[in-house]
Structure formats: C-alpha cells, structure tokens
C-alpha cells in the first residue's frame, strides 16, 4: 500500500486547476480596464453636457479590482452627487445620466432607483449616491462603497486576487455566496476582507473550521452598537466602525460554511467548487417523498407584492416563522419550513407529522386557590361547550378540561388563523386573497419546485460527492 495522499498537496493541485478555470483571461481584463476608463470619462462629459452637478464617477466592486469570476461580471458605476442634493433630484438626474450612458437600460429598485443596462458589451449598473467625506455617516446605503474600493485597493496584493476568487467559487458551490435577502450569504466585500485578514483561501478555511457561532472577528475593536444577539458573524467594517460587514449572513449559511471548511481541508475535492445541491423537485416526486415519510405538507400562497427581493424575502420568512409558530401552538409537530417567490406569487411550505390533530384537546386552567378558577369553571361548565371530560384537577394541582375539537385539519386551522398572524406588512395586505392548501393542490411552477427542494432534499453537499458525476 502506498503512502496516503497529502491533503495540502491535493488541495494545491485542485486550487491551481480551479483558479485557471474561473479566472478571466488577460484580453478580458485589458478590455475591461479600457471600458471602465471610458465609462468614467463619458459619464462626466455627459454630466457637464446636461449641467448635472456630478462630483465624480467611481467604478467599484469586483470589476474594479479584478476579483470577479469569469462567468459573473457586472460593472458597478456609482454616480456621486453633492451631499446637499435633495433626494428627488439625486434620483431624477442620476437616472437621466444613466440613461444617457447605457444601452437598453432597465429600471431597478433598492433603497432608491438605479439602472441596469450595457456599455460596450458589458453589463453595467449605474447607481446614484452622495459624495460624502465620512463613511461612518452615509446618507444612502451605497455611499460607503467608494471607501470600500479605496481601502481594498490600498491593502490587497495581486496574489490575493486568485485567493478571493477561490473563496467566492467555494461559497458559490455551497449556495451561500451573495448577501441578498434571498440568499443571506457572504457578500463579495466580506469575502475580500476575510482573505485580506487571513492571507489566503485555505487559511480562511483553516480558521473557519473551528469557529463557533456567533463568531466575533473584532481584532481588539469594540463590536458595533446594536448588533442583534442572533447575529451569526461580526466583522467590523474597516471604513465604518458602526457597521457589521456580515449583518446579512444567516446562522444556517455560516454553519454550513464552517462544516464545509473542515471537510475540504481534511479531504480536498474539486467538486467542492461545483454546486451539487438539488435546485428543484417536481411536485409529483415531492408527493412520493411525502408519502414515504408519512408526513403532510401544506402551503400558503398569495399574489406577490410589487417589491424587490431584498424587501420581499424578509417578509416571506417572517410569514413562514409565524405559520410554523401557529401550527405548533395548535398542537402540530413541525418538521420543516421552506419559502420562496416567483414572478407572480409568494409561497410558504410547512411540513408537519400529521394532517390532523386528535379530536380531543386538553385545556389547562389556573392553579387551585386563585381568583380565576371561578371564571374557568363557569366557562367550561356551561352547556354547549363540547366538554368531553371535566373540569377536573390535574396531577400538578391545576384545573383542566378535555374538549372536542370541531376542526382538526391543519389546512383549515391555518387558513382560519391567517388574518391575525404577523405575516409582514405587504403580505398582510394580500391575506384576503391568500390560500392555504395541501401540496397536491398548489399550482405548479419553478418557485414551488425550488421550495420543495429546500423542504425535502436537505443534505450536506459533500455527502453526494461519491455519487456525483
């Protein structure tokens, strides 16, 4: 028997191969550099022509630093206005300038509207913002970005660029790259700061494998004020001590990264850089799985509000938590929850161990000897209250009564409760037209298939490497 393979040597060979696969070639980098320069020149010339008070144009993000993956390139172009510019004027003139620069511009919304289109064949987003001087006091959500660009440009070495790409691709393989509300993963800026702090892709993984949530990477700094207790990771923004760079990262996604880091370091595999998780399960397949599991899946579906994902998804997750909490309060055992959205609907799925509750329900009353016992006895001694047994005294010395449940079906019970559940402001407005239905009755579509995969195909991705092609 030969010697066991050295994990570090195997990892080095894998990472060299992956780096070559995901890196942009020299011709693309040269074309991108020239385009960035012309985009800045054109925007500033157009601002002068339209007499728009543009302070400067900044190209930021991975396209500015070369840390993008070769199949994922957008140019982020920030149009910075004087800080005293009224918000309405910022939006109006920022969009006017963007329309003059881009081909086929599409209006998008975040904190304020921006445009997405093309410039010299590249996808470009033109985003208006304020030319602030203190990044710890931004006037809009994008105002810190030029400072992030300057900080990384000053501290990042050329050797780190490949390491950043490797970490991005590794996170992508896990499905946790991106700080959007839909993903709740690692932002590109967070990835670059982690590589900058620990020195390389594998050094980040070696550190991460021993993390315990919540993770505080403070380097002697105080944590930002107001950080929620449930936060997964705290890393102070080097340009703004009041901001946690990792605020969007969920505990689930950080936990997956921690486990995946240890797995890769011990057993390097090139498939760690490929997404192997199932993306969808068709409804017919899901119904077979549900039958095998002996569980029941119910769904809440409603018309999608006209909201961007970053606003919509937190509300959908809030609705999912509310639905699960109500099911548990009623007496159901919740196995899992999933949610999602398509172009026309918002969707929550709930898996319970049964479709129905037992017809008998135990109602607990107050302990003997307090004033409210009379109220309890009066309520449950009245005729027509469906009392099956009691009132009586429990082993703990409390009053109790067993009553008949008129409704036992989870679908009917949750449907009746929708009007009083905290579903999120915009979703609550659509409750009147919402529907709670069994999985078999939900309209098929990519959003349902994706949510079913989240609900019924959960596994650690590396467990399937042995059978992956």
- 112, 127 Cβ separation under 8 angstroms: no
Residue 88: its pLDDT value, please? 96
Q: Are residues 292 and 335 in the same domain?
A: yes
Q: Are residues 121 and 267 in the same domain?
A: no
Show which of 225, 251, 273 is a domain's final residue.
273
Give the model confidence (pLDDT) of 109-161 as tens digits: 888 899 999 999 999 999 999 999 999 999 999 999 999 999 999 999 999 99
**Which range of residues forms the domain containing residue 171?**
158-273
Q: Which of 146, 197, 189 is nearest to 168 (CA)?
A: 189
Residues 6+ apart with CB under 8 A from 150: none
Q: Are residues 291 and 429 in the same domain?
A: yes
pLDDT in tens, the chain (469 residues): 445 568 888 999 999 999 999 999 999 999 999 999 999 999 999 999 999 999 999 999 999 999 999 998 999 999 999 999 999 999 999 999 999 999 999 999 888 899 999 999 999 999 999 999 999 999 999 999 999 999 999 999 999 999 999 999 999 999 999 999 999 999 999 999 999 999 999 999 999 999 999 999 997 778 888 888 889 999 999 999 999 999 999 999 999 999 999 999 999 999 999 976 667 999 999 999 999 999 999 999 999 999 888 899 999 999 999 999 999 999 999 999 999 999 999 999 999 999 999 999 999 999 988 777 888 888 888 767 789 998 999 999 999 999 999 999 999 999 999 999 999 889 998 888 899 999 999 999 999 999 999 999 988 888 765 444 3
Q: Are residues 197 and 126 in the same domain?
A: no
Query: 185 lies in a domain?
Result: yes
- Residue 131 tokens read as 């030319």
Looking at the DSSP assignment, which residues form a beta bridge with residue 189? none
Q: What is the CATH number of the domain that holds 129?
A: 3.30.460.10
Q: Are residues 74 and 218 in the same domain?
A: no
Q: Are residues 79 and 104 in the same domain?
A: yes
Q: What is the CATH number of the domain that holds 320?
A: 3.30.70.590
Residue 276: its pLDDT value, please? 64
352 backbone φψ class: left, alpha, beta (φ>0; ψ -120 to 50): beta
Residues 6+ apart with CB under 8 A from 212: none
Measure the CA–CA gap between 155 and 236, rounded to whole angstroms.
16
Q: Are residues 106 and 200 in the same domain?
A: no
Show which of 76, 102, 135 is a domain's final residue.
135
Number of other residues whose CB lies within 10 A of the CB of residue 346: 27
- Residue 101 tokens read as 């620069």
Query: 13 lies in a domain?
Result: no
Alpha helices, H only, 111-176: 145-155, 158-174
Give the model confidence (pLDDT) of 222-264 as tens digits: 888 888 888 999 999 999 999 999 999 999 999 999 999 999 9
Q: Are residues 128 and 242 in the same domain?
A: no
Residues 6+ apart with CB under 8 A from 364: 394, 398, 399, 400
Show which of 221, 255, 273 is a domain's final residue.
273
Q: Are residues 266 and 170 in the same domain?
A: yes
Query: 399 lies in a domain?
Result: yes
Query: 82 lies in a domain?
Result: yes
Query: 469 lies in a domain?
Result: no
- Distances from the Cα of 248 to the Cα of 129, 133, 188, 252, 257, angstroms: 21, 25, 12, 12, 15
Q: Are residues 325 and 435 in the same domain?
A: yes
Residue 467: its pLDDT value, please? 43
Query: 5 lies in a domain?
Result: no
Query: 238 lies in a domain?
Result: yes
Residues 6+ apart with CB under 8 A from 33: none
Q: Are residues 191 and 338 in the same domain?
A: no
Q: Which of 300, 310, 337 is nearest to 428 (CA)?
A: 300
Query: 295 lies in a domain?
Result: yes
Q: Are residues 398 and 414 in the same domain?
A: no
Domain total of the chain: 4
Residue 4: its pLDDT value, please? 54
């Amino acid at each position: 028997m030969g010697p066991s393979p050295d994990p570090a040597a195997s990892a080095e060979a894998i990472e060299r191969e992956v780096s070559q696969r995901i890196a942009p070639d020299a011709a693309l980098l040269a074309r991108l550099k020239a385009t960035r320069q012309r985009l800045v020149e054109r925007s500033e010339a157009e601002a002068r022509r339209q007499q728009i008070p543009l302070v400067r144009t900044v190209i930021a993000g991975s396209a500015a630093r070369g840390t993008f993956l070769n199949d994922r390139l957008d140019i982020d172009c920030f149009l910075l206005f004087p800080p005293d510019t009224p918000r309405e004027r910022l939006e109006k003139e920022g969009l006017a300038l963007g329309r003059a620069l881009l081909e086929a511009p599409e209006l998008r919304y975040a904190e304020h509207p921006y445009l997405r289109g093309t410039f010299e064949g590249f996808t470009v987003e033109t985003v208006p913002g304020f030319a602030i001087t203190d990044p710890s006091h931004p006037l809009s959500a994008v105002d810190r970005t030029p400072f992030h660009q300057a900080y990384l440009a000053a501290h990042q070495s050329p050797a780190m660029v490949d390491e950043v790409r490797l970490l991005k691709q590794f996170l992508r393989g896990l499905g946790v790259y991106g700080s959007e509300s839909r993903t709740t993963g690692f932002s590109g800026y967070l990835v670059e700061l982690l590589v900058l702090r620990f020195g390389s892709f594998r050094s980040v993984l070696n550190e991460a494998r021993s993390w315990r949530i919540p993770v505080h990477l403070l380097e002697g700094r105080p944590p930002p004020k107001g950080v929620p207790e449930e936060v997964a990771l705290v890393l102070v923004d080097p340009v703004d001590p009041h901001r946690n760079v990792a605020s969007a990262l969920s505990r689930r996604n950080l936990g997956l990264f921690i486990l995946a880091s240890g797995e890769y370091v011990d057993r390097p595999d090139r498939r760690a850089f490929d997404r192997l998780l199932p993306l969808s399960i068709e409804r017919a397949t899901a119904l077979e799985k549900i039958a095998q599991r002996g569980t029941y899946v119910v769904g809440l579906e409603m018309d999608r509000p006209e909201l961007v994902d970053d606003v919509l998804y937190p509300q959908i997750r809030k609705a999912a938590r509310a639905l699960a909490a109500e099911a548990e309060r009623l007496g159901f055992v919740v196995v899992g929850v999933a949610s999602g959205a398509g172009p026309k609907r918002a969707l929550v799925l709930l898996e319970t161990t049964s479709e129905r509750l037992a017809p008998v329900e135990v109602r607990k009353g107050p302990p003997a000897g307090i004033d409210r016992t009379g109220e309890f006895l009066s309520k449950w001694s009245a005729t027509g209250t469906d009392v099956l047994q009691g009132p009586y005294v429990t082993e703990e010395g409390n009053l109790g009564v067993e009553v008949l449940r008129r409704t036992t079906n989870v679908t009917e019970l949750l449907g009746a409760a929708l009007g009083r559940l905290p579903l999120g402001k915009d979703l609550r407005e659509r409750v009147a037209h919402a529907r709670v239905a069994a999985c078999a009755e939900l309209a098929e579509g990519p959003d349902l298939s994706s949510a079913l995969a989240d609900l019924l195909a959960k596994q650690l991705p590396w467990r399937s490497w042995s059978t992956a092609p």
